């Protein structure tokens, strides 16, 4: 069973993200240095997904896999509800907000769910933890294939950020994300004890790989004139759009689970797995799928949404946990 304790680095990690963006804005890497950082980032991401595979318990997956209605509900939220909301927001605000930022909102909407925090919040709220393990892991695994396909459908060439995803890009994602994940899972007989005894080391890889991607992405964007194109108002609008996305997702998953007849434990798993988006998967995928010059603005909505979902869901989990045990 994975570690169900909420990560204690939330505030520190947010500060680290902001600091990384600041350093990239002042001292962006270019030329050969940028190439070195690209190689280091690729290695860190591969190691990250290897450790995710090593942490994934096959027993927990088998325990929760039978609740297919719950899993379909979570996948529907992640890969149908969110993209529809994102497309509606982009259509309604096109011409009012920087197009690259709107595309970043849409990209956020086609990402898979998180794993660690979804399970942690479900456990704190006394929800169906085995089902949450299965749903969050399944969403993350399917996202390696589904997200690039959705990007090809919903991000158009005119925005400068996509227009279809090549087989080469999909192959690169499979090689960089899926292959290390599978190898890590196959290595569990040899590695799971070490991974379990060294949560700090795996946490450093988790955070460090994201910070490396953010630094290289923002460096390329700054070199291309990112901060000349984006204003403080653009960032404020993205923050508001992220809040709208999260509010709609939480409302639909909560009331939808009740209308579909799920019990409270299943409802909790659906809410926390179906309302989240993965920064750990989204940032590496953005680096593979989009030109370096636009990765920076594309990941801004993900970074803001990540912190927002953690704070809001932490409060919601405590509220669920406070209900009488007889409920």
What is the per-residue pLDDT across 194-231, written as a single tens digit (0 to 9) for each? Answer: 877 877 777 677 677 767 767 876 776 677 666 666 67
Residue 162 banded pLDDT, cuts 50, 70, 90 = very low
More confident residue, 65 or 29: 29
Contacting residues for 297 by C-beta, under 8 A, at least 6 apart: 98, 100, 101, 104, 221, 226, 229, 230
CB atoms closer than 10 angstroms to residue 121? 30
Query: What would the CATH number be for the domain defined by 10-319?
Result: 1.20.1530.20
Cα–Cα separations (whole angstroms), residue 81 to 8, 132, 280: 30, 19, 21
pTM of the model: 0.69
Rounded distance between C-alpha atoms, residue 203 and residue 7, angstroms: 9
More confident residue, 296 or 125: 125
Dihedral over Cα of 138, 143, 149, 154: its sign: positive
Read off the tokens for 231.
């204003």
More confident residue, 20 or 13: 20
Residue among 166, 155, 163, 152 at smallest CA distance from 103: 155
Rounded distance between C-alpha atoms, residue 244 and residue 154, angstroms: 20
């Amino acid at each position: 069973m994975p570690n169900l304790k909420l990560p204690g680095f939330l505030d520190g990690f947010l500060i680290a993200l902001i600091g990384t963006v600041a350093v990239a804005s002042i001292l962006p890497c270019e030329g050969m240095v940028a190439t070195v950082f690209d190689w280091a980032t690729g290695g860190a991401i591969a190691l990250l997904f290897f450790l995710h595979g090593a942490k994934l318990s096959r027993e927990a997956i088998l325990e929760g896999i039978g609740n297919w209605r719950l899993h379909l509900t979570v996948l529907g939220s992640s890969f149908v509800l969110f993209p529809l909301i994102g497309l509606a927001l982009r259509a309604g605000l096109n011409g009012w907000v920087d197009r690259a930022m709107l595309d970043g909102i849409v990209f956020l909407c086609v990402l898979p769910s998180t794993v660690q925090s979804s399970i942690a919040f479900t456990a704190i709220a006394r929800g169906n933890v085995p089902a949450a393990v299965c749903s969050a892991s399944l969403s993350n695994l399917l996202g390696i294939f589904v997200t690039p396909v959705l990007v090809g459908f919903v991000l158009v060439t005119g925005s400068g950020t996509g227009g279809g995803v090549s087989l080469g890009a999909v192959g690169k994602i499979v090689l960089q994300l899926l292959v290390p994940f599978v190898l890590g899972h196959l290595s569990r007989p040899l590695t799971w004890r070490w991974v379990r005894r060294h949560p700090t080391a795996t946490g450093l890889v988790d955070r460090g790989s994201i910070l490396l991607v953010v630094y290289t992405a923002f460096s390329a964007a700054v070199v291309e004139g990112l901060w000349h194109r984006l204003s403080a108002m653009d960032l404020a609008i993205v923050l508001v759009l992220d809040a709208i996305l999260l509010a709609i997702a939480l409302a639909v998953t909560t009331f939808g689970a009740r209308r579909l007849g799920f019990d409270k434990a299943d409802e909790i798993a659906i809410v926390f797995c179906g309302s989240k988006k993965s920064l750990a998967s989204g940032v590496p995928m953005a680096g593979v799928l989009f030109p370096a010059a636009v990765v920076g603005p594309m990941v801004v909505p993900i970074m803001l949404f990540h912190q927002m979902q953690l704070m809001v869901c932490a409060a919601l989990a405590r509220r669920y946990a406070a209900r009488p045990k007889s409920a």
